[in-house]
Amino acid sequence: MMEDGKWLEAANDSRQLANVREANGYTEKFGLTLTDVEAALLLKERKEVLKNQERVEFGEGILPKLIYAFCDSPYIYQDNYVETLGRLQDIFYFYKNESLDEITDDELIDFMKDQFDGPCQGSLDYLEDTGLETFARRARFGLGLYEEEDEDEG
Give per-residue pLDDT as tens, 75-97.
Answer: 999 999 999 999 999 899 888 88
**Cβ(25)–Cβ(34) under 8 Å?**
no
Who contacts 127 (Cβ-Cβ below 8 Å, separation ≥6)? Answer: 91, 112, 115, 116, 120
**Cβ(100)–Cβ(140) under 8 Å?**
yes
Residue 104 counted as domain residue: yes
Q: Looking at per-residue confidence, does 70 or 107 come out higher?
A: 70
Phi, psi for 69 (deg, rounded to 5): -70, -40
Question: Is residue 24 classed as helix, strand or coil in its secondary structure?
Answer: helix
Residue 47 counted as domain residue: yes
pLDDT for res 56: 65
Residue 147 counted as domain residue: no
Q: Best-predicted range by mean pLDDT among 20-34, 54-68, 85-99? A: 20-34
pLDDT for res 55: 67
Half-sphere exposure of 70 (CA within 13 A, CB side): 33
Residue 80 counted as domain residue: yes
Residue 148 counted as domain residue: no
CA distances from 70 to 51, 93, 105, 134, 144 (A): 24, 16, 14, 21, 23
- Domain holding 94, by residue range, is 6-140
Residue 128 counted as domain residue: yes
When pLDDT is averaged across residues 119-142 and rounded to a whole number, the result is 82
DSSP string, 74-95: TT--HHHHHHHHHHHHHHHHHH
When pLDDT is averaged across residues 33-51 and rounded to a whole number, the result is 86
Burial bucket for residue 89 (CB in 10 Å: 0-12, 13-18, 19+): buried
Residue 127 counted as domain residue: yes
